[in-house]
C-alpha cells in the first residue's frame, strides 16, 4: 500500500500537467525546417536564457552542425565560456545552490522542455509576462502565475502592462487580465517580438528532438518504398496466378 502511495505522489506533477492549462494557448506555428529561424532561436537562447538554463543533453558541435553554423562562428558568437570546447555539453555556469537561493528553486534544464510542456505552451508563456510590482522580480505571468523568474526578454519586448476586464463566474464578477500591452520601449515591435519568440520556441523544440526532421524524412522514404514494393507484389501475384488459371 505504501508503495502505491509513493508512486501516486510521484505522478501528481505529471497528472497536473496533463490536465492542461487554465488559459487558452496561442499556436506557435513554428517550422523545424526553417534553418534561419533555428539559428536566430539559438542566438536568443544563448544570449537571454543560457545564463541560467542549460541544455545539458546537447553539445555545441551538434547544434552548430545541425543548424548550419560554422564552428568558428559558434565559438565566437554563441559560446561565452572561454574554457568551453566545441564538443562540450551545453551546461550553464550558474551555481545551482546560489540559483536556488536567488529564484527559490534551481532553474530547470530546458533540453526537453518543449516535449514536456508543448510548443504552444512555451510560445504563450514567453508572451504572457506582465508588470507586477508585488513580485520579487517585478513581473508575473498569466500562464504561470507567481512565476519565480525575471522577464529576461524585457529589453526586446518593452515593459508589458496588463489590461484588465471582468468576467462572471457562478454569479460572481471577478477581474481578470484580458490582454497585455507594452509601453513601446522594447527593441522590437509586437509582431517582431512574436516572431522572435517563435524562433526561440523553434530552437527549444529542435533541442528536445534533434533528429525529428530526419526521422520524418526517413518515414516518407519508407512509405514510398512500401508503396512501390506493394505494386511490385501485386503485379507479381497477377503474373503467377495467370499461369495457374
Residue at 174 is within a domain: yes
Number of domains observed in the structure of the chain: 2
Q: What is the value of pTM for the model shown?
A: 0.80
Q: How far apart are the first and last CA of the chain?
A: 68
Containing domain of residue 191, as a range? 23-210
> Would you state the pLDDT for residue 5?
38
- Same structural domain, 132 and 233: no
pLDDT tens figures, 198-231: 999 999 999 999 988 788 778 888 888 888 989 9
- Tell me, what CATH number does 55's domain have? 1.10.760.10
DSSP character string of 190-210: HHHHHHHHHHHHHHHHHHH-T
Task: Indicate the Cα dihedral angle 21, 25, 27, 33, nearest 10°.
Answer: -40
- Same structural domain, 206 and 233: no
- Same structural domain, 112 and 222: no
Buried-state track 2-16, b at ≥16 Cβ within 10 A, e below 16 = eeeeeeeeeeeeeee
Paired residues of 145 in beta bridges: none
Q: How far apart are CA 133 and CA 138, in angstroms?
A: 5
* The three cell numbers locating residue 9: 505522489
Instruction: List the single range of 18-32, 76-90, 118-132 with lowest mean pLDDT.
Output: 18-32
Q: From the CB of residue 168, how many other CB atoms can be counted at a distance below 10 Å?
A: 8
Amino acid at each position: 500500500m505504501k508503495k502505491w502511495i509513493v508512486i501516486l505522489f510521484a505522478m501528481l506533477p505529471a497528472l497536473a500537467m496533463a490536465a492542461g492549462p487554465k488559459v487558452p494557448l496561442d499556436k506557435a506555428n513554428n517550422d523545424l525546417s526553417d534553418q534561419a529561424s533555428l539559428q536566430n532561436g539559438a542566438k536568443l537562447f544563448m544570449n537571454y536564457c543560457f545564463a541560467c538554463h542549460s541544455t545539458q543533453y546537447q553539445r555545441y558541435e551538434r547544434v552548430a552542425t545541425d543548424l548550419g553554423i560554422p564552428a568558428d562562428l559558434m565559438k565566437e558568437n554563441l559560446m561565452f565560456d572561454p574554457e568551453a570546447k566545441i564538443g562540450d555539453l551545453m551546461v550553464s555556469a550558474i551555481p545551482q545552490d546560489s540559483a536556488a537561493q536567488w529564484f527559490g528553486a534551481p532553474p530547470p534544464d530546458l533540453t526537453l522542455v518543449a516535449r514536456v510542456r508543448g510548443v504552444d505552451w512555451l510560445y504563450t508563456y514567453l508572451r504572457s509576462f506582465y508588470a507586477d510590482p508585488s513580485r520579487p522580480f517585478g513581473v508575473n505571468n498569466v500562464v504561470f502565475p507567481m512565476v519565480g523568474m525575471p522577464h529576461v526578454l524585457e529589453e526586446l519586448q518593452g515593459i508589458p502592462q496588463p489590461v484588465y476586464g471582468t468576467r462572471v463566474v457562478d454569479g460572481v464578477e471577478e477581474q481578470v487580465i484580458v490582454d497585455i500591452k507594452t509601453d513601446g520601449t522594447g527593441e522590437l515591435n509586437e509582431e517582431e517580438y512574436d516572431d522572435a519568440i517563435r524562433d526561440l520556441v523553434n530552437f527549444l523544440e529542435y533541442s528536445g528532438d534533434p533528429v525529428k526532421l530526419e526521422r520524418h524524412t526517413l518515414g516518407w522514404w519508407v512509405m514510398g518504398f512500401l508503396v512501390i514494393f506493394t505494386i511490385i507484389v501485386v503485379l507479381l501475384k497477377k503474373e503467377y496466378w495467370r499461369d495457374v488459371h
